């Protein structure tokens, strides 16, 4: 199986490492500094699923998709930030490297990424992955898996049968990262949006780990308000998830999802600390936009979105 990982951040390196461990043919498209580090030192994975080193000659890496040799890939795993989805979709659509049978798998946060790719590719080529694993990149060539809540799920929002990606999922799973194909990816993506929508803005504003949020009665009241608003927006948009209502989700959240990820800090907080652009617009911002579209009031989400946007603008204009 020939797979291109488009974006060599922490998620991209984690997925690439699993595919390499499974013996698949892998190429990465990376920024220049990351590409240089990978070419010189190889790809290293550490953390809760063990330590693995892949030498530089075990994969290909380039700063541009067109520079990669070979046939059209079976899959392209898109692991760029969600705010780059539009530009990434245009770049892939214009590339001669992408064939009519290549499946594009968005492994990004938030809601709305699939629509950006479907604007350039037939629905049958567009897939989504729900990733609810914590990755950290201590060095450009090194990814650490810090926490893991549930297997990676891959499926289609457009009714394509899950067996079309079963080989990809099996390879990722063999490589040490639990992964399953699913016909319920919409439910999974909304579950992920709930999880991120509760924890990312609060973690960023309070500058604490997920576990510290769960210890605070004040923060937990906000979490409950957020969950109820997101459920209202989801249902108004015509979608469901794996729980019938916000109360059932919150019970699962506090008892099952939060404990194993208590030490993790959100990617939004990590980006703010690094002075980078966050993905808050694809998370809380998506809830606010869908609320406006369907006339659902989301005052708590709207307030937290404005707060994170203010912090982000301040950090990026006044770096420390």
Query: Do residues 176 and 268 both lie within one domain?
Result: no
Same domain, 58 and 130: yes
Coil, strand or helix at 149? coil
Supply the DSSP symbol for 99: -
Tell whether 230 and 171 lie within a shared domain.
no
Of 156, 183, 210, which marks where a domain is finished?
A: 183
Average pLDDT over residues 191-212: 95
pTM, rounded to two decimals: 0.91
The answer to whether residues 139 and 230 belong to one domain is no
CA distance linking residue 143 with residue 135, whole number of Å:
7
Residue where the block lists tokens 């079963």: 166
Q: Where in the sequence is the domain holding 167, given as residue range(s)?
A: 2-183
Residues 198 and 108 in one domain: no
Domain boundary among 152, 183, 214: 183
**Distance between CA atoms of residues 35 and 39, nearest Å:** 6
- Asked if residue 218 and residue 141 are part of one domain, the reply reads no
The mean predicted confidence, pLDDT, of the chain is 95
For residue 45, the surrounding DSSP H or E stretch is strand 43-47
Asked if 152 and 70 sit in the same domain, the reply is yes
* CATH code for the domain of 71: 3.40.50.720
pLDDT digits (tens, 9 = 90+) for 100-135: 999 999 999 999 999 999 999 999 999 999 998 888
- Max CA pair span of the chain: 56
Same domain, 196 and 175: no
Give the domain CATH number at 224.
1.10.1040.10
* Number of residues that this document lists for the chain: 320
Same domain for 140 and 47:
yes
């Amino acid at each position: 199986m020939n797979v291109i990982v488009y974006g060599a951040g922490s998620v991209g390196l984690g997925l690439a490492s699993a595919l390499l461990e499974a013996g698949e043919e892998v190429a990465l498209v990376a920024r220049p500094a990351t590409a240089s580090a990978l070419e010189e030192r190889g790809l290293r994975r550490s953390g809760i699923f063990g330590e693995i080193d892949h030498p530089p000659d075990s994969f290909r890496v380039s700063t541009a998709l067109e520079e990669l040799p070979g046939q059209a890939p079976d899959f392209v795993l898109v692991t760029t930030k969600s705010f780059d989805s539009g530009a990434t979709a245009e770049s892939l659509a214009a590339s001669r490297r992408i064939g009519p049978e290549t499946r594009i798998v968005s492994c990004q946060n938030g809601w709305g990424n699939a629509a950006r790719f479907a604007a350039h590719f037939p629905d049958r080529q567009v897939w989504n992955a729900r990733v609810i694993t914590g990755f950290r990149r201590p060095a450009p060539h090194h990814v650490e898996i810090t926490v893991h809540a549930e297997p990676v799920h891959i499926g289609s929002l457009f009714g394509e049968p899950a067996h079309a990606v079963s080989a990809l999922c099996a390879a990722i799973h063999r490589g040490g990262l639990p992964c399953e194909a699913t016909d319920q990816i919409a439910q999974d993506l909304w579950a992920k949006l709930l999880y991120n929508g509760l924890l990312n803005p609060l973690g960023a504003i309070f500058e604490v780990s997920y576990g510290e949020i769960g210890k605070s009665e004040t923060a937990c009241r906000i979490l409950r308000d957020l969950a109820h608003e997101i459920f209202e927006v989801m249902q108004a948009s015509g979608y469901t998830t794996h729980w019938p209502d916000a109360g059932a989700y919150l019970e699962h959240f506090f008892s099952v999802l939060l404990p194993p990820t208590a030490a993790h800090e959100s990617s939004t907080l990590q980006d703010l600390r690094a002075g980078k652009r966050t993905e808050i617009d694809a998370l809380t911002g998506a809830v606010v936009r869908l609320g406006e579209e369907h006339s659902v009031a989301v005052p708590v989400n709207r307030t937290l979105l404005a707060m994170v946007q203010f912090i982000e603008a301040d950090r990026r204009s006044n770096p420390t």
